[in-house]
Amino acid sequence: MNNLQRKLGLSLSAVALAVTASQVQAEDSLAKAIKNGKTTLDFNLRYETVDQDNALEDADALTLRTRLTYKSAATNGFSFLVEAEDVRSVMGIDDYSVPPSGFNTGVYSVIADPKSTELDQAFVQYSNVKTTARFGRQVIALDNHRHVGHVGWRQDRQTFDAISLVHKFNKQLTARYYFINQRNRIFADDADLDSEDHLVNVSYKSDIGTLTGYAYLLEVDNNTDNSLDTYGIRFAGNQKIDSVRLFYQLEYATQTSETLGNEFDANYWLLEGGVGYNGHKLTLGLENLGSDNGAYGFSTPLATLHKFNGWADIFLGTPGNGLQDLYIKLQGKLMGGKYHIVWHDFSADENVAGLDDYGTELELQYTYAFNKNYSVGLKYSGYSADDYAVDTDKTWLWFGAKF
Q: Which pLDDT tens digit goes with each residue over 298-307? A: 999 999 999 9
Whether residue 289 is predicted with pLDDT greater than 50 in this model: the reply is yes
CA distance 206 to 381: 37
pLDDT of 74-105, one tens digit each? Answer: 999 999 999 999 999 999 999 999 999 889 99
Classify residue 391 as left (phi > 0), alpha (psi -120 to 50) or beta: beta
**Confidence at residue 7, expressed as pLDDT on a 0 to 100 scale:** 46
What is residue 20's predicted lDDT score, i.e. its pLDDT?
53
**What's residue 17's pLDDT?**
47
Q: Indicate if the pLDDT at residue 27 is higher than 80.
A: no
CA atoms within 13 A on the CB side of 378: 3
**Residue 57 phi/psi, 5° resolution?**
-75, 150
- How confident is the model over 231-241, as a mean pLDDT? 97
User: What pLDDT, on a 0 to 100 scale, did the predictor assign at position 24?
Assistant: 53
| Residue-level pLDDT at 15 | 44
- pLDDT tens-digit series, residues 357-378: 999 999 999 999 998 999 999 9
Q: Residue range 295-322: average pLDDT?
A: 98
Q: Does the pLDDT of residue 388 top 90, yes or no?
A: yes
pLDDT value, residue 188: 85
What three-state secondary structure class fits 353? coil
**pLDDT score for 354:** 83
What are the respective helix, strand and coil percentages of the chain, to the nearest 5? 10, 60, 30
pLDDT tens-digit map of 122-146: 999 999 999 999 999 999 999 999 9
The strand ranges marked E within 260-336 are 262-277, 280-289, 323-334
Instruction: Supply the pTM of this predicted model.
Output: 0.91
Do residues 176 and 157 lie in contact, with contact meaning Cβ atoms separated by under 8 Å? no
Work out the number of other CB atoms within 10 angstroms of the CB of residue 100. Answer: 17
Query: Residue 3: its pLDDT value, please?
Result: 59
Classified as helix, coil or strand, 34 is helix
Using CB atoms within 10 Å of the CB of residue 51, give its burial: 0 to 12 exposed, 13 to 18 middle, 19+ buried.
Answer: middle
Q: Is the pLDDT of residue 149 over 60?
A: yes
Look at 19-23, 28-32, 241-245, 367-371 and tell me which has the smallest mean pLDDT.
19-23
CA 79 to chain centre: 23
